[in-house]
Amino acid sequence: MKPLISIIAIWFWAVTVFATPPALVPLPQQMQVQTGTFTLCPAQLILGAPAPAVTKILVDGASRETGEYLAAQLFRSTGYRFQIATNSGVAPVAEAILLTTNSALASLGAEGYELTVATNSVVIRAPASAGVFYGVQSLLQLLPPEIFSPRPVVGVPWTIPCVYIQDAPRFPWRGWMLDSVRHFFNKDEVKQFLDAMALHKLNMFHWHLDDDAGWRIEILKWPLLTQVGAWRTDVNFGLNPRSSTAYGDDGRYGGFYTQADIREIVAYAAQRHITIVPEIEMPGHSSAALRAYPQFGCGCTTCARPPGSLDITNSNPGGVFCAARPETMAFLQDVLTEVIDLFPGPYVHIGGDEVSFYNWQQHSLDQQLMSSLGITSMQQYQGYFTQQIANWIKSRGRTMIGWSEIMNGGLVTNAVVMDWITGSGSAQQAAANQQYAIMTPTSACYINFVENPSMTWSNEPPSQSGTVKLSTAYNFEPVPASLPAAYTNYILGAQGNSWGEFIPSRLNMEFKMFPRLCALAEVNWTSPELKDFTNFTNRLVIHKQRLTQMGVNYNRSMEPPQIAAWAQTQISTSYSVLSWDITSSVTTAGEIDLSFCWKTGAHGLDIAWAALLENGVELDRDTHAGFTGATPVKPAYVLRLPARKPGAIYTLQAFVAGRGGTNSNGIVYRPNWD
């Protein structure tokens, strides 16, 4: 699409009329800022019982659910109850927000919309209900950031700049993947993620529900999958157990979603026009399932993992289903049948990445089947398995998605490729064969990686090795440059991935997601010629205020608050206690996260424990070996304050020693990533 006026003129006009231009994320395809404002409701909230709003919300049949969603959003922050009424007309109505699918531009497609804000009316017009919903998201972003507050805010003028927006997404797949396996997120946390997705007009929620480290979805026919596979003894991955939020009453780590939970989350997502794509890993990454039902593996303990590999209960992809056993396929079909019944969307993801071939190479049944089929490579054998699954899923009216590796043994039909391996060419190969592909390469879309590599431990928590800067995510182009124009429509879009090995909590997850997911949202929505990184970061200044109002954590890319420091004169090569008064930093009860960060000197600092004291009495202690130096090792500590006592003195203590000498100087930060 061509903009109605140039993007430079848009922002110049906006700056002329308003102190700050409309900071929409993602940026609309066309926006014209005009003179004047629309006032949503009275400037001051009347105390007491909620008063009716001046503005009404008018809807047609297709827009009623979105109208109810808008009214609920506005009520939370303004305190006003917005009357919803049916109106099948097409003309603007004074002092009303009209949501309608009548007389819409068909060329905008199912997700496009027009938004017109005049001084006395608002109209959101779209060909379908999804477009109306996205128009509402833009309308909310035109309001002050406080509109996203979960409770009424007083003293805010609820005004909207007069604009005309004509908008539609560039790609149909605008995704984000949540790994609920390595860390289990409860259903309320998942809903919070879905709300953040909706704000950014993301529409595909890829949900990683099983892996070697756990099985997270209830399957009624095979109950041991959750009774056994959903739990492990520790948080694992070298994380501090105290940083995690997913321990059961018995001390085991994990959890799972009941089928009632799944239905509730699916309905919540559907209200926000988000399709959930469940991922059930096969044939590899299946250790959790095989712990519950080992009869579907290779049938021998020595085949469970390659020699010298990690414990299969944690992260090693050694657990592989036996493709030669007929009962294995029957089991997987049982599982997928229940999955399909729970998730009404068109796609089912089966993983297919990082399959360890060691099991199949050592197992006689798999070797016999390969021989009978004339298959000469393990990649082809995986392709044989994957094609069977793809065909079965197709027979159930759905389409299979798999990671890059499903293409290694040749083309798999009835499937979509999700290309995660930077430079693999899997997406191009699929598109050239007129099959759809989704781009999610590690180099730009793995937003669990570190964002700023020079800011570790003081500014960013540990993560998988790798870096994806905000600018890298924003400048990513999903359509490969070498793909012929005739096949570019086979690239469905892009997706940010959040793998959970080093993510022990919702706050930590959000810290890694944002603002990089904001950038990927704009990659997927906005035409490339309209994108500008400087303009984007300028808009993020306001957008981060929205995230704050929503209670969404994000990476502030700045040094977190300093609450203590040590100098070489305080350090001994023998362990001793350092104490700091941190009363001014303890403003509320709850979790107090600490990060010890070495700054200068020839020697690092060994840390045995950290403790919180109230009026000289120890309340909590985190005991684990940490080190801060040129190569830090777990220098983060978690302390808990049950209740803050007014007037009390709070002291931080740490039991430390200089490693190899006393020339060590550093700072204790209170980061925001746990």
Pairing status of strand 347-349 against strand 399-403: parallel
CA angle 427, 429, 433 (to 5 degrees): 115
Residue that has been written with the tokens 């940010």 in this structure: 496
Q: What's phi and psi for 287, nearest 5 deg?
A: -60, -40
Please identify which of the residues 200, 285, 543, 603 carries the catalytic annotation.
Answer: 285
The side-by-side arrangement of strands in the sheet containing 636-641 is 562-566, 665-669, 590-600, 636-641
Tell me which of 114, 211, 212, 281 is the catalytic residue.
211
Active-site annotation holder among 327, 354, 529, 581 = 354
Beta strands in 48-128 (DSSP E): 56-59, 84-86, 96-100, 113-117, 121-125
Closest residue by Cα to residue 403 from 430, 380, 376, 377:
430
Q: Distance between CA 608 and CA 626 in Å, rounded?
A: 6
| 3-state SS assignment for residue 11 | helix
121-43-99 Cα angle (round to 5)? 25
285 has catalytic annotation: yes
- With both helix axes pointing from N to C terminus, report the angle between 506-513 and 516-525 in degrees, rounded to the nearest 10: 50
Q: Please tell me the distance from the alpha carbon of residue 119 to that of residue 1, in angstroms, as a whole number.
A: 27
Give me 525's structure tokens.
Answer: 């929505």
The rounded distance, in Å, linking the Cα atoms of 451 and 557 is 9
d(CA 244, CA 249): 14
Q: Report in angstroms the alpha-carbon separations of 371 from 109, 378, 388.
A: 50, 11, 18
Nearest to 650 by CA among 569, 564, 568, 574: 564
Can you tell me the distance from the alpha carbon of 114 to that of 125, in angstroms, rounded to the nearest whole number? 5
Q: Which residue, among 15, 86, 90, 22, has the nearest Cα to 57 in the 3D structure?
A: 86
Give the residue among 413, 439, 414, 434 at the shortest CA–CA distance from 424: 439
The residue count of the chain comes to 674
Determine whether 603 is an active site residue. Answer: no
Quick one: residue 518, left, alpha or beta (phi over 0 = left, psi -120 to 50 = alpha)?
A: alpha
Tell me which long-range contacts 471-475 makes (C-beta under 8 A, separation of at least 24): 471/533, 472/443, 472/444, 473/444, 473/445, 473/447, 473/516, 473/519, 473/520, 473/523, 474/519, 474/520, 474/522, 474/523, 474/531, 474/533, 474/536, 475/533
With H, G, I as helix, E, B as strand and everything else as coil, classify residue 536.
helix
Furthest-apart CA atoms within the chain: distance in Å: 80
Residue from 203, 211, 337, 173 nearest 270 by CA: 203
Residues with catalytic function: 211, 285, 354
